A and B are shown apart, each in its own frame.
Chain A
């Protein structure tokens, strides 16, 4: 009887995951989708605790299980509640790493179960393959996610070893070869497990280390699907349908999401994983020298210019998020609106750190959703715009993406800000953006530069506007 109820709970859980992901793709119902998936997960978890039986024996160690659940819930909730909206991407990466570590630990314990009863090579080959794969994928996901977390949090810098790609591929081949040999009884030393663990962790680090910060969302999404596959391995191991379902679902959805994200940035997945954005490729655009000079504008002039405009479009970039300037930005918008200026935001698909990240950040500071205009809708509007204020964005407004085939960002869809009557670029310095390339826009006669920290400058702009 217990087993029947558990099977049904698992079934509900599996359906809730599919339904949850389905609803998460719809802005109106996304919150419900997340809730349904969480309820399904809770049913599956508590069903397992109270109803799971193996050879007629129920689970024990309740104190430990609940201790772990409570500890994890408290820490997880605190971390998730306390994190700043700008820190969301690294938080997701962190939690993803935890899931990977969990999958890896399961493999460690299961392998120990097998080898405790003598030679592990006597176990079925298939079971060993599953255990090894769970360990390898889980560990790679854990180590990779932690590096991605560190990078997004700016604790770890990009680093490329000489011959990095050769080393990576070689290491992966060695890991798979060892796992294969151990599964087929060619290696009988039980310590092979720890060797695999160590190598997989190293691989995870090396895999993410050289990838540039701008490509991190793609990597996180990819590692996310890795963890999904690692969870599915657990599903095979315990013949547990809900684990298999959830794992494979995330594995395939995550892989596709990765590809879709790459497309939005006009980059291929291989390019992200192998090529180094910026760096050496930046020199290719050197052939074209940019002529013209840079014009600076004072805050007062900028304020006057905007005040007497009909329509102002703000282009927010990651620089705005870093400076935590989204609230001041909203204030500026309100002050301008009071003056009768029409204000809109132009959102590039990859503004911020992840697709959709900028929408979240601006929504957090109460910017009305209908002011956030997506690229394809705002582009024709630039012709009728008086002033475009570009805050901390660079590559997404670089005309080289349209005009210079030798540029590394050539072909990337950009915001056509050069169509507007004036552009004001707010930047900390003349430093190039993520792609490491010069921006022709800065030298345009229609453009003025406003140097300084985004938050400070915006605050001063607001007070200038108020005093005018």
Chain B
């Protein structure tokens, strides 16, 4: 119990951030028209590609072949997530733009 409380106290800032971000996320989505759900999901999908930063850090520090190979795959897959995600979202939103002509 004490270790848990100490952990909470030590990581206050992180925990505050997580809680706030949860609310921000909910707040942002709440009033979105259903027409935009698909692009929104796709955009959010691209944003969690931020996990690629972890892959880059691994790659940059890799010394063993194991880390090098897995890290490389991770960078490729992460890039796929980021680039593919943003490009797909952009293409979807292009469709919406046409209407205003």
Interface contact A64-B53, CB-CB below 8 Å: no
Q: Is A17 an interface residue (CB 8 A)?
A: yes
A243 touches B40 (CB 8 A): no
Near A by CB (< 8 A), chain B positions 29-79 give: 29-62, 64, 66-68, 70-79
Could you give, for residues 36-69 of chain A, a 1 whenever the CB lies within 8 Å of some chain B CB and a 0 otherwise? 0110010011001100101001111110110111
> B86 near A38 (CB under 8 angstroms)?
yes
Find out whether the CB atom of B53 lies under 8 angstroms from the CB atom of A20: no
Shortest CB-to-CB span from A261 to chain B, Å, is 6
Contact at A249–B47, with CB atoms within 8 Å?
Answer: yes
Interface presence of B28 (CB below 8 A): yes
Given contacts A27-B36, A95-B81, whether A37 and B46 have CB atoms under 8 Å apart is yes
Q: Is the CB of A60 within 8 A of B61?
A: yes
Given known contacts A25-B40, A102-B81, A113-B67, is B50 in contact with A246 (CB within 8 Å)?
yes
Some 18 contacts from A to B, beta carbons below 8 A apart, are A34-B46, A61-B60, A65-B56, A65-B59, A88-B38, A109-B67, A217-B38, A230-B51, A231-B51, A234-B51, A236-B14, A244-B14, A244-B18, A249-B47, A253-B26, A260-B37, A355-B38, A356-B36
Residues of B in contact with A (beta carbons under 8 Å apart): 7, 14, 17-18, 21-26, 28-62, 64, 66-68, 70-100
Partner of A61, one of B17, B33, B40, B68: B68
Interface size class of A (residues with CB under 8 A): 35 or more
Report the minimal beta-carbon distance from A66 to chain B, rounded to whole angstroms: 9
Looking at the complex, which one of B23, B35, B42, B50 makes contact with A41 (CB distance below 8 Å)?
A: B50
Question: Which of the residues B32, B47, B55, B91 comes within 8 Å of A80, measured between beta carbons?
Answer: B91
Would B72 and A67 count as touching, CB distance under 8 A?
A: yes
Within 8 A of B (CB), among A362-419: 363-364, 366, 368-370, 374
Chain B residues with CB under 8 A of A20: 43, 47
In the complex, the answer to whether B50 meets A243 with C-beta atoms within 8 Å is yes
A106-B58, A356-B35 given; name 10 further pairs at CB < 8 Å: A25-B33, A44-B50, A49-B56, A59-B60, A72-B77, A79-B84, A80-B88, A102-B81, A217-B41, A253-B44
Are the C-beta atoms of A99 and B45 separated by less than 8 Å?
Answer: yes
| Residues of chain B lying within 8 A (CB to CB) of residue A22 | 28
A73 & B18 in contact (Cβ 8 Å cutoff): no
B47 touches A246 (CB 8 A): yes
Q: A220-228, A280-288, A441-449: which lies at the B interface?
A: A220-228
Assuming A61-B62, A109-B74, A248-B21, is B86 touching A368 (CB within 8 A)? no
Q: Please, which residues of chain A bring their CB within 8 A of the CB of B80? A: 72, 75-76, 79, 95, 98
